[in-house]
Amino acid sequence: MVYSEKMEHYVARIVERIIAGRYSERHALVTSYDPKNYRAKVTFQPGGQTSGWLPIETGHIGNGYGMAVGLEAGDGKKTGDQVICRFQENDFECAKIVQRVHSDKDKPPGPVESGEWVMWTKWGQQIRFNKDGSLTFKTGVDTTQDPGNKQPKHKKVTVTLDINGNHTIQADTNIAETATSGQITNNAGQSWTSTAPTVNTVGQTHLGTTTGALVSMTGTIDTGGFADIPPVASRVFAS
């Protein structure tokens, strides 16, 4: 009897290990995604079993705030984001999505150097913490312009902050600054440079430095109101 009980326990442990190895984690393809409740349905691989709605686990999300990445659904056979599902206490009926993984088909974005941290969206927006200490923000593709075109026409904006204290904004079209109930102030310790064929101002415009004179100014200024221009600059415009 003692021998049979030991054998029974041994067999039970073997069965538990087999079940744990089979059901503790499974790869799956996303078939439906619920952006409001942050959950998804999947097809488990390679068997093809379908799930109900599964919560998507993330380490940085709370009551109405946090970081979330939306999943892309497919047919569950060849398309759809590949994810890893984990089963609580090896219960096949109690699963959650814990990771999203890349593959030879769904290739990761890159490159990312050692020590760098980059966030991409499907449409190409980036927040990049570069290894040289700089921080870069980039816009991506606006698919609303032409949903049927894989590479729709779009304009980009890139903002870079570097370790030398420089702040650079590069835009393909326009850069606008608006203060609805206040003022916009630009202060430069050495010089302020603005290059454009024409400078357009509306309202009271004051051009000068703390000493009351401009070193140089060329081009055309078109004002829709009062313009206070130092003598040196006035002579440039008059000529």
- The pLDDT tens digits for 117-170 are 888 888 888 899 989 899 999 887 655 544 455 555 677 888 898 888 888 888
Element (H, E) at 5: helix 2-23
Q: How far apart are alpha carbons 21 and 85 in whole angstroms? A: 13
pLDDT at 161: 87
pLDDT of residue 223: 64
Q: Which residues are 100's β-sheet partners?
A: 83
The closest of 204, 206, 208 to 225, measured between CA atoms, is 204
User: What is the predicted pLDDT for the residue at 40?
Assistant: 95
β-strands 198-201, 220-223 pairing: parallel
CATH 2.40.50.230 domain position(s) in the chain: 2-100
The pLDDT of residue 236 is: 45
* DSSP conformation class of 109: P
pTM, entire model:
0.60
- pLDDT at position 165, please? 86
Report pLDDT digits (tens) over 32-79.
999 999 999 999 988 888 899 999 988 778 788 888 888 999 999 888
Is 2-100 CATH 2.60.120.10? no
Question: 173 CB contacts (<8 Å, ≥6 apart)?
Answer: 155
What is the number of other CB atoms lying within 10 angstroms of the CB of residue 26?
Answer: 20
More confident of the two residues 32 and 183: 32
With beta carbons less than 8 A apart as the criterion, state whether 219 and 235 touch: no
Give the residue from 114, 166, 121 showing the smallest Cα distance to 139.
121
The burial of 81, by beta-carbon neighbours within 10 Å (0-12 exposed, 13-18 middle, 19 or more buried), is given as buried
Question: Which DSSP string do the residues of 35-92 spell out, in sequence order?
Answer: TTTTEEEEEETTT--B---EEBP-SSB-SS-B---------SSS-S-EEEEEEGGG-T
pLDDT higher than 50, residue 31: yes
Round to whole Å and give the CA distance between 26 and 82: 11
